[in-house]
Amino acid sequence: MKTSAIASTLIALLGFAAAAPAPEPEPSPEPAVAKRAPYNVFIGEHSNWGGRNELLTLNTAVCHTLGNGWPGIITAFGPDAPVVCTIFDRPGCTGSQFHGITNPGYSNLNAIGWNDRISSFRCV
């Protein structure tokens, strides 16, 4: 009888073990670097988008040093929504900066003291 009591106990315990829920899978870790999504910035040589203009398609969270004759001549700067841009007066996103430019941007950077000063920018 002892053998049947032990066997019954083991069978009952195995039933409880089989009924236990499976452990929750661990969530996948977040990537260390935010996803870089494309966006546009419209830049202009003169106020109210006059003169030479260019639409730049870029990736977020990357410093963009201006080329193609643009450093130091931009008077209008307008990013797509919902990005927020910081402009810098030196290449490589260094030097003095102005943060918080959102869509529609500025059609005249004189309003914030940044006419003809932008050399680089970063948007997130």
Task: Give me the domains of the chain, ranges plus CATH numbers.
Answer: 38-123 (2.60.20.10)
pTM over 0.85: no
Over residues 50-78, the mean pLDDT reads 97
Grade residue 37 by pLDDT with cuts at 50, 70 and 90.
Answer: confident
What pLDDT shows up at residue 8? 58
104/32: higher pLDDT:
104
Instruction: Say how many CA atoms lie within 13 Å of 94 toward its Cβ.
Output: 3
pLDDT of residue 110 exceeding 80? yes
Strands of the sheet with 120-123, listed across from one edge: 63-65, 120-123, 85-90, 94-101
- Rg of the chain over Cα atoms, rounded to whole angstroms, equals 30
15/43: higher pLDDT:
43
- Rounded CA separation 36/96 (Å): 25
